[in-house]
Structure 1
């Protein structure tokens, strides 16, 4: 797998040291990031990703990120490679003290891209831990990702590649790297942002483009989706899919070790998403739900 790296204004060798030992992103996870699909040499939904990057930084109390610098770095990385499939922008608060207190910056910006294969299916498990919807970084794409690492190792130990969790109320929330959609009855519903889930880029586009295509899809009311809805998925009375920039709209093939079926509305939504994405590689942001 080929990996390209941009840092400090220059393209770098993959194994070249690029972060200071005292960088707050390294020492305490004080940073934000975005992962994007690369299609035909372009970062998909770039405007939306950059808007969320700025939102995450603001929620973290970081100074505003220089969007022009990020765009320039992305352009240099994409121009330097062929066959790239995934791009990540990581921004930390920069050098800081050996404590939780933040330093004075400047930001550390790193852009990486590779040509790794796309994920082709999702095998998920439920985890015993919960997302804190009252956390100061709930809904933020933060580099403080240790919770997700623990959950993913739990999933991998059980032959899965995604972990699904509840929030503190026991309501369905999200996956470690994805949002979740449930096809139940004659509609598709997804946990609301009030559940503590990330405002996923593909989640938002699925809601918009699905509605445009007259697919019955909506954000659930707070508390509407209990974790028990996943028992309905295993029983075949409901269906599930995950959404992310690396999966798009991807139906679950297994849940807690049991094979599960694909819902017709979710399969239609996946096709609608692919068709719309082929027509518009950088859809303008709309209001999140």
Structure 2
């Protein structure tokens, strides 16, 4: 199955023109997006993703997206994708931009652009991660928002891939553990699985939130860290095998890290249990 693309009310072929050359999402990255997992041809946690799409739009100063239009796009690409591939596993990306605008940062109020894309894909069971040489700015105007201004993530991920990894992990400007380029981070140590708090500047990940909820429900010792509890140097403990690491995201579910900065590292028992729990519940609870 190739990409299935829906743009502003119509299906378009890959490579076919779909956006204005002066769409603000293209010229200055003025837009927000969500990437949702698809299980057996159905979108997982769509309600939570649409709520975050609205929050990101408000944070960026955009008008609230028309969620009826977004849902129509999602339904259309899923139906087309199922015709091609049956009940596939993969992902759906929803992008909402400020629409056509000037060649510059100023906006012209008007209709937004909505694009929805479906793609068949799988998930790797583990990750190979590298520490980023750059930091995440927790004081940024877009900290914690899921925007299309993704250049620093592209650069950091390319750095990790060049080193042999598949994810790059950021500190914030205070030297605290923050997040990956497209994932949240959990550290297993002291018999607990702990994730940086949102004040670190990390994204409020959907998978992160569900793991905290489902883990507590199942009796797993999973929690959010205190503000200064996880310095970036905690990754030294991971490298020494004294702590373990896991990533969460819609493209990973719960993914233990088995390689950090060129060295193999062990998977923690709580991380493994968290992955098993999430793999089970995500297919049982389609829209939690």
TM (normalized to structure 2)? Answer: 0.97
- Paired position in structure 1 for 2:14: 14
- Paired position in structure 2 for 1:286: none
Per-residue CA distance 1:145-184 (angstroms, 9 max, x = gap): 0000110111111011100010000000000010000010
Matches within 5 A, 1:97-108: 97-108=102-113
Unaligned runs of 5+ in 2: none
TM (normalized to structure 1)? Answer: 0.96
Matches within 5 A, 1:198-237: 198-237=203-242
* 3-state secondary structure, aligned to 1:236: coil
* 3-state secondary structure, aligned to 1:54: helix
Are 2:143 and 1:138 equivalent residues in the alignment? yes
Matches within 5 A, 1:139-154: 139-154=144-159
* 3-state secondary structure, aligned to 1:222: coil
CA distance in 2, matches of 1:268, 1:80: 36
* 3-state secondary structure, aligned to 1:6: strand
CA distance in 1, matches of 2:287, 2:100: 33
- Paired position in structure 2 for 1:277: 282
Q: Answer whether contact 2:89 2:122 (CA < 8 A) is retained.
A: no
Which 4+ stretches in 1 moved above 6 angstroms? none
Unaligned runs of 5+ in 1: 284-289
Per-residue CA distance 1:206-251 (angstroms, 9 max, x = gap): 0000000111111101111001111111111110000000100000
* 3-state secondary structure, aligned to 1:149: helix
Matches within 5 A, 1:249-264: 249-264=254-269
1:109 to 114, 122, 141: 114
What is the RMSD of the two structures over their aligned residues, measured on CA atoms? 0.9
Q: Answer whether contact 2:4 2:13 (CA < 8 A) is retained.
A: yes
CA distance in 1, matches of 2:159, 2:7: 33
Deviation at 1:14, TM superposition (A): 1.2
Matches within 5 A, 1:51-66: 51-66=51-66
Deviation at 1:276, TM superposition (A): 1.5
CA distance in 2, matches of 1:217, 1:93: 38
Q: Answer whether contact 2:125 2:256 (CA < 8 A) is retained.
A: no
Deviation at 1:84, TM superposition (A): 4.6
Are 2:175 and 1:163 equivalent residues in the alignment? no
* 3-state secondary structure, aligned to 1:225: coil
- Paired position in structure 2 for 1:71: 71
Deviation at 1:98, TM superposition (A): 1.3
* 3-state secondary structure, aligned to 1:241: strand
| Count of equivalent residues | 283
CA distance in 2, matches of 1:74, 1:173: 31
Deviation at 1:119, TM superposition (A): 2.7
2:188 to 179, 183, 187: 183
1:268 to 257, 267, 273: 273
